[in-house]
Amino acid sequence: MKYCCKYWSYNEIFIGQAHTHKDLEANSNFPENGIKSLINAIRHLFDPGSVLNNINERLKVKVEEIRSLIRDGYIPRVRAIACNNGIKWNDASEEFIKREKFGDQVTFEHINHDRIITILQASKKVDEKLNFSGKALVEDLNFSRVIIGRIAVSEIAAMINRHGEQLLERNIRRYLGLQGNRVNEAIRDTLLGEEKTNFYFYNNGVTLTCDKFSHNALQGGDYQVNVENLQIINGGQTCMTIYKTMRDNQSTNFSEAYVLVRLYQLPNNNEDMVRNITFATNSQNSVDLRDLRANDSVQKRLETDINQLGYVYRRKRTDSSVKPIDITTNVAAEAVLSVWRNKPHQAKFFTREHFGKLYKTIFSDDLNGAQTIIAVLLYRYAENKRKRPPVNAPQCILYASCFIAMQMGTYLLKKLNCELEGLNHKNFEEAKLIIEKHGEQLFNFSSADVENALKELYGDKQISAQQLSATFRRGDLIEQMCNVDFKKRLVQ
């Protein structure tokens, strides 16, 4: 019996259990105790008031983090998947499910080998007419054909409106939505912004496959292409976002927005080739916001500053291993945001925005190499303590590394008798020496400040792991920690 839980967002959760019958006769029901186990897991996992026993500590931290979100009002929708190589659960198991009265919040589904084959065979062929605008390249290649050109986004939206996700049967993903998806949000914003006419240049385009396409080759352009068995194998997110954006903004003029389209006509029995094209077009190294910022002037300046101080700033991703003297941009961002910007909660829980909305906050024009290195050294010290907590360390150590690093930075500046602006190449070695000699003391003072702030917030009552996770995620302690009397704790 195997059990797994997977969540793509805190509101949609897939939880499943798999059971394999050794006799392979495929005539046995999914076991009753398996359904009971699924029900118990759902009741236990998503009830913040239940006690977690006999669970790995590292896993417990993650589970309690989910529970803290539930306490904050997130309502999970659960799909319970029972998978086996036999038949569905029996009537008794069905009664167990009905008795729980989960309602629409939890749905139970059975999947076996027959269901999988049915899903694979259920896709219907989509025949379409694609209207290319302007010139297009048409070429025969190794018993295949290709046409490359541009299509108006209105044509894409109309096609999706007619066929929906049926066009995505060969795509590796269903639509991931707009909310919280940075790439899809950017696609929408471009379509709705002043640069919609440049959408063709900003988007990577859409890759389609078909069994056959035909067009009037006597035309010089503006082809109407008849397509048999059309499928989207790359660019499904673009197509769905175009459709939903145009549907929700019908008064907006999209007539000058186009997208690059590649249509491949492949030989019969082409599944292997389709699979290889899908893999190749979807598995190339992705470019994220961190890569796009690599050539910014502030990144180049930091690289020079940091290299002159004996460290290596890796503003571009490479395949080489990270050495102790190496500082990657993602670590620098988390460290600076924690230590110098007093936003430790955003450092830990908003990593996807470090090179987006928070970029200018972190990498301001006055950030220098010395400040960056010192922030990283303090952050690494606190992180090492979190990963390998001292004996009898308080539970908050597992959640508070970014907060502790922030406080360590404040103590360090007090010891240097300067403000952040005064930390530079001139007193860099002195600051580094303080960390080397008094790092333990800095950490102890800072962790004690965290504990005291928790007491001010919650009093003497016991704090659960869920509360701790939620507290550090929201940053409730920052104000209390900023009011510490540092004069009572000067590093000796």
Both tokens assigned to 192: 């709705």
How many residues comprise the chain? 492
Give residue 225's pLDDT. Answer: 95
Give residue 3's pLDDT. Answer: 46
Give residue 2's pLDDT. Answer: 45
C-alpha to C-alpha distance for 28 and 32, rounded to whole angstroms: 11
Give residue 257's pLDDT. Answer: 96
At a CB cut-off of 8 Å and minimum separation 6, what does 212 contact? 227, 228, 229, 265
Q: Which helix (H) or strand (E) holds 208?
A: strand 206-210
How does DSSP classify residue 488? G
Per the CB < 8 A criterion, the answer to whether 237 and 160 are in contact is: no
At a CB cut-off of 8 Å and minimum separation 6, what does 165 contact? 174, 175, 240
Task: Please provide residue 147's backbone torsions phi and psi, each rounded to the nearest 5 degrees.
Answer: -130, 130
Give residue 485's pLDDT. Answer: 58
At a CB cut-off of 8 Å and minimum separation 6, what does 432 contact? 373, 374, 377
Model pTM? Answer: 0.57
Q: List, in sequence order, every residue forming a beta bridge with 152; answer none if it has no partner.
A: 258
Task: Please provide residue 293's backbone torsions phi and psi, each rounded to the nearest 5 degrees.
Answer: -90, -5
Give residue 118's pLDDT. Answer: 58
The identity of residue 126, as a single letter, is V
- Could you tell me what percentage of the chain is helix, strand and coil, using 3-state DSSP and rounding each to the nearest 5? 50, 15, 35
Both tokens assigned to 56: 């790995």
Give residue 374's pLDDT. Answer: 97
C-alpha to C-alpha distance for 171 and 123, rounded to whole angstroms: 12
- DSSP sequence for 100-148: H--GGGEEEEEE-HHHHHHHHH-PPP--EEEEEEEEEEEEEETTEEEEE
Give residue 1's pLDDT. Answer: 42
Give the other-Cβ count within 10 Å of 203's Cβ.
21
How does DSSP classify residue 428? H
Give residue 486's pLDDT. Answer: 52
Give the other-Cβ count within 10 Å of 287's Cβ.
11
At a CB cut-off of 8 Å and minimum separation 6, what does 138 contact? 145, 146, 147, 215, 217, 223
Give the ranges where 309-400 is alpha helix by DSSP (H): 329-339, 344-349, 359-362, 369-387
C-alpha to C-alpha distance for 439 and 411, rounded to whole angstroms: 10
Instruction: Profile the chain (492 residues) by mean pLDDT over runs of 10 residues.
Output: 46 78 75 89 82 74 77 80 89 90 85 71 78 93 89 95 81 67 87 94 92 91 94 90 93 95 84 72 66 88 95 84 91 96 91 90 96 97 91 83 94 94 96 95 91 84 79 77 58 49
- DSSP sequence for 262-314: EEEE--SS-HHHHHHHHHHHHSSPP--HHHHTTTSHHHHHHHHHHHHTT-EEE
